[in-house]
Amino acid sequence: MAESTQVNDVISVGHDGDIALICIDNPPVNATGQAVRQGLEEAISSLNEDGSAKVIAIYCAGRTFVAGADIREFGKPPQPPSLSDVLDQIERSEIPVISIIHGTALGGGFELALSTHARVAIKGARIGLPEILLGLLPGAGGTQRLPRLAGIPWSLDVILSGRQVKAEEALEKGAVDRVTEGEPRAVALAAAQDVLDGKLATRRTAELKTEANQKALDDTLAMVTKKNPHLFSPGKCVEAIAASTLPLDEGMKVERACFIACMETPQRSGLIHAFFGERAVSNIPEAKGDTRPLAKVGVIGGGTMGSGITTSCLMAGIPVRLIEVAQDGLDRGVATITKNLDGAVSRGKMSSDKRDAALAMLEPSIAMEDLADVDLVIEAVFEKMEIKKEIFGKLDTICKEGAILASNTSYLDINKIADMTNRPQDVLGLHFFSPAHVMRLLEIVQGAKTAPDALATGFQLAKKLGKVGVLAQVCDGFIGNRILGHYGKVAAYIVQDGASPQQVDDALEAFGFAMGPHKVGDLAGLDIGYMTRQRKKEEGLDPDERYGGTLADKICEKGWYGRKTGKGYYLYETGAPIPNPEVETLLAETRAELGIEPKAMSDQDIVDRYMTAMISEAARVVEDGTAKRPVDVDMVFLFGYGFPRFRGGPLHYADTIGAAELVARIETYAKEDPHYWQVPELLRKMAADGRTFADLNKES
């Protein structure tokens, strides 16, 4: 290389005879932040002014080609030059410009490649336009240039799915021009030389024409509207892609308008909060530092949870010794695990070879002594403290020094369990969510004496399993179930006071939940809630608290537990749930017994009460430190409770209402029931200070 000049901190230009190499070096993913855009603009214009170079190749340093626009800039005042303008300039360059793709060229990164006159991918590279996952659409020409190269149908698939596409598929579809091997810079030099030698053709995408395909557009619009009725950007994606049959400058105007419309929606804010939140929850001191080995895991309990946890570990390549008390239980566990793995294969989540290898790493046993050499034990047996205490007492003597002893309990006190051992520093909670091999949330519960390296190992396990590990402190129900325990009552109150179970479900599904609380209860089994209510009755109910379980108790006392009995709040004989007409009778009985005159409630009132209840307990969970920050609560609900992702989580959604309005609402509701509706101190302070939960996230 004759010489290399640094245009700015992130862009350099090297020369080798007739070849100019532009290198982007903006860790961690070469996002097209302002410096990258400005540097590219300056480099392209100076090379064209100078005119000595006969071909320009753009490549990236580091682990990947540009992975997109810098998402951290969104929602802030735009800083020129815009990516669109820079890409138009590249496309208009008199000197042919090619791009060398390695790693993941996504979003604005792949749009950069599309604006060049040829694209060379290095084997293993993937391209994609995942803006839809952020509530957006490709806003720098992707909806206009990709259809010109690869046609409308394939462009609709790639843009509406947001999926990553292997280089070979992109080559087959014409989205890239060559797939080769080697290091980016060497490939750039070789490809540029091929351009000069006429071995690699170049062309301006703008000069290509998109073949019209109204049917593909109409079919896709119908499909996305049905699949995601709540989302705004899919329809805008189709609208922009449809404009790719227009002259480029006109199509770009349509794309711009669609992009701005998406940018302005709360959905974009919610989805980007979810993107960064998923990463933020493990970006804490407790998740870093020394960890312990995780070569082999022991799981106690072959029931639904134990089998799911075992499946999750095996799918991540971690050998598991599964313990059950008797052979028949062990056989059932192994059968469930086998079924789970077969399901993963049929869903295309793993190859059958990988499934066989996973199964080969399973060592079933009915002897707890076989846990002597494991690095981590996850107990997943009945939610009875006595049983857990007995098990942990035995583990204390069986397991090797330094082995981590974890309980999958969903609400019991980890400190009490730890105190059954002489090694409380090795004990923590690992609360998986059912089905454990599918749900991504893992609440990592820190005991009072849990050692830092044991806790950090919990986060390492989450990463290995592809789960979202969230730190929780000990309390009844930790983060998610504690909050659920609170707002679940308000759904019962709303039904007692006048709404039907179906109206509550319909209102919350219109808000964005995949399933309303009564359908969820039917799915999980109404008997679980029934047992909890009976347990609490035995322990002595709070006399000041309104009991909301009367209807649910009546339903369970009929033996109607939901899907598993074919009848619950809904009937399941035909498959799709239909409201159980006998529930109406039981509800009338309940209201009569409680002396309630039912009053009509609007869907909005139902959503407001339900969400305000959820937000108020979530605020308390942040206030008392059970959750580290509001974003941790949000991620618990996105990854463990089916909260609508486009709303970002309960506390991100709370910011769209505002603390002052929430306080006013709670004070209004408190007139009906001052015991249940109490204003959390944190919310009152936020209302007084004008702060948001986003502010609290930044402060922590």
375: contact with ligand T1G by CB under 6 A: no
| Ranges within 667-696 binding ligand T1G (CB under 6 A) | none
Distance between CA atoms of residues 459 and 470, nearest Å: 8
Which of 41, 91, 131, 255 is flagged as catalytic?
131
Active site residue 131: yes
Q: How many residues does the chain have?
A: 700
Residue span binding ligand T1G (CB under 6 A) among the ranges 61-69, 148-156, 342-350, 675-683: 61-69
408: contact with ligand T1G by CB under 6 A: no
Which residue shows structure tokens 């990258």?
36
Give the 3-state secondary structure of residue 405.
Answer: strand
383: contact with ligand T1G by CB under 6 A: no
Minimum separation from the CB atom of position 649 to ligand T1G (A) = 17
**Closest CB to ligand T1G among residues 107, 562:** 107
CA distances from 176 to 103, 112, 167, 225, 642 (A): 14, 12, 7, 30, 37
Single residue of 70, 194, 413, 608 touching ligand T1G by CB under 6 A: 70
Minimum separation from the CB atom of position 164 to ligand T1G (A) = 7
Minimum separation from the CB atom of position 190 to ligand T1G (A) = 26
Task: Give the x-and-dash track for 259-278 against ligand T1G (CB under 6 A).
Answer: -----------------x--
Which of 41, 91, 111, 383 is flagged as catalytic?
111
Minimum separation from the CB atom of position 404 to ligand T1G (A) = 25
Amino acid making up residue 395: L
CA distances from 189 to 69, 93, 119, 372 (A): 26, 19, 13, 57
Minimum separation from the CB atom of position 272 to ligand T1G (A) = 9
Single residue of 108, 429, 516, 548 touching ligand T1G by CB under 6 A: 108
Minimum separation from the CB atom of position 143 to ligand T1G (A) = 9
Its sign, for the CA torsion 267, 270, 273, 279, is: negative
Residue span binding ligand T1G (CB under 6 A) among the ranges 127-135, 293-301, 417-425, 426-434: 127-135
Minimum separation from the CB atom of position 389 to ligand T1G (A) = 39
130: contact with ligand T1G by CB under 6 A: yes
Closest CA to 246 of 145, 341, 119, 361: 145
Q: What are phi and psi of 14, to 5 degrees?
A: -110, 150
**Structure-block tokens of residue 109:** 């990164």
Active site residue 363: no
DSSP 278-295: HHHTT-SGGGSS-----S
167: contact with ligand T1G by CB under 6 A: no
69: contact with ligand T1G by CB under 6 A: yes
The count of chain residues that interact with ligand T1G, using the rule CB under 6 A, is 26
**Structure-block tokens of residue 417:** 């369990």
**Closest CB to ligand T1G among residues 131, 443:** 131
Single residue of 131, 553, 608, 617 touching ligand T1G by CB under 6 A: 131
28: contact with ligand T1G by CB under 6 A: yes
Residue span binding ligand T1G (CB under 6 A) among the ranges 66-74, 188-196, 413-421, 453-461: 66-74
**Structure-block tokens of residue 195:** 């351009």
Distance between CA atoms of residues 612 and 620, nearest Å: 12
3-state secondary structure 470-494: EEEECCCCCCHHHHHHHHHHHHHHH
**Structure-block tokens of residue 91:** 């496309």
111: contact with ligand T1G by CB under 6 A: yes
Residue span binding ligand T1G (CB under 6 A) among the ranges 101-109, 178-186, 633-641, 644-652: 101-109
Question: Which spans in 283-418 are helix H?
Answer: 304-315, 327-346, 352-360, 385-398, 414-418
CA distances from 491 to 112, 484, 602, 609 (A): 49, 10, 14, 8
| CA angle, residues 32, 36, 37, in degrees to nearest 5 | 80
Minimum separation from the CB atom of position 597 to ligand T1G (A) = 53
Minimum separation from the CB atom of position 109 to ligand T1G (A) = 7
Minimum separation from the CB atom of position 158 to ligand T1G (A) = 13
**Closest CB to ligand T1G among residues 67, 526:** 67
Distance between CA atoms of residues 558 and 556, nearest Å: 5
**Closest CB to ligand T1G among residues 133, 614:** 133
| Ranges within 282-321 binding ligand T1G (CB under 6 A) | 283
31: contact with ligand T1G by CB under 6 A: yes
**Structure-block tokens of residue 601:** 């409630």
29: contact with ligand T1G by CB under 6 A: yes
Its sign, for the CA torsion 202, 23, 85, 242, is: positive
574: contact with ligand T1G by CB under 6 A: no
Residue span binding ligand T1G (CB under 6 A) among the ranges 65-73, 167-175, 187-195, 408-416: 65-73
Closest CA to 476 of 521, 414, 419, 433: 414
138: contact with ligand T1G by CB under 6 A: yes
Question: Which spans in 140-285 are helix H?
Answer: 142-150, 152-161, 167-173, 184-196, 214-227, 233-242, 248-263, 266-280
Burial class from Cβ neighbours inside 10 Å (0-12, 13-18, 19+) for residue 527 reads: middle
Single residue of 35, 61, 71, 515 touching ligand T1G by CB under 6 A: 71
Could you tell me what percentage of the chain is helix, strand and coil, using 3-state DSSP and rounding each to the nearest 5?
55, 15, 35
Single residue of 52, 72, 199, 466 touching ligand T1G by CB under 6 A: 72
Which are the catalytic amino acids? Answer: 111, 131
Residues found near ligand T1G in the complex (CB under 6 A) = 28-29, 31, 67-72, 83, 104, 106-108, 111, 130-131, 134, 136, 138-140, 142, 276, 279, 283
